[in-house]
Structure 1
Amino acid sequence: MTEPSIVLYGIKNCDTVKKARKWLEKNTVEYRFHDFREDGMDSVPLKEWLDEFGWPQVLNRRSTSWRALDDGQKEAMDNATALALAGDTPTLIKRPVTVAGDSTLFGFREADFSELV
C-alpha cells in the first residue's frame, strides 16, 4: 500500500484540525495524520516551514500558548526562537499544517483545501 500524498499535521482535539479532517474524509481524500503530541516532533519539518514561510506564518499568535509567552519572548521572536519554542510546545504552531507535494497550508479554509486536492 502506498503512502497518501497529503500529510495533515496537528493535534487531534483541535477544532480546526477536526474540521479539516472531516472535510478531507467527506471528499474522500486520502491523507496521513501526524499528531504533534502523540507522534512527536522529530519528523515534523518545522525548520523547513520556518525557513520558507517565517515565524509569523507558522506560529498561531491567537493561541493560549502564544499568550502564555512573556512580552520579552514575543518581542524577540525570530525563526530560531520559534524553532526552539514550538519544538517544545507544538501548540504554538498554527493548525492544521497540510502538506501536499510542494504545497503547504497553515490553518483550514475550505476554498484552499479545494484547490489543494
Structure 2
Amino acid sequence: MIRPDDCLVTVATGYGFAETAVTVSFLEGHGIPAVALPYQLASVSWDMTVALGGMEIRVPARLADAACFLLAEDAQPARPEKGRSPWTLWPRRIALVLICLLTQVPPPPRGIYVVGRAEVAGYRI
C-alpha cells in the first residue's frame, strides 16, 4: 500500500546536466533519495530541455522540507575572491554573446531553480 507521504514531489528544476547531477548527488549525500526526470530523454536530445520544462528533481513528500532547506542553504551566492574584480569576466561574456549571434545557435540552458517551500508544502494528494 502506498502512503501519501511516499509520493514524489518536485523540489527543484535543472536545465544543465552537470548542475542537475550535482544537485541529485548532493541530496543523496545527505540521505535524501532523489531522482531527476526526464534526465534520460534530455540526455539524448539536449536541445529539447527547455521544451520539456527542464529536469525535475523529485524527492519523497515526507523529505521535501529537508530537501528544500538543504537546497536553499546551498543556493547562497559564493563570495567573490579577494583581489579579483567581477569585471574580469565581461570579455568572456561578450565573446560568448558574439559567437552565439554569429553562429545563430543559442547557448544551452543551465542552472538549478529551487521550488519554494510553500509550494512544496501545499502539495497534497
Q: TM-score, normalised by structure 1?
A: 0.35
TM-score (norm 2): 0.34
**Larger Rg, first or second structure (1 or 2):** 2
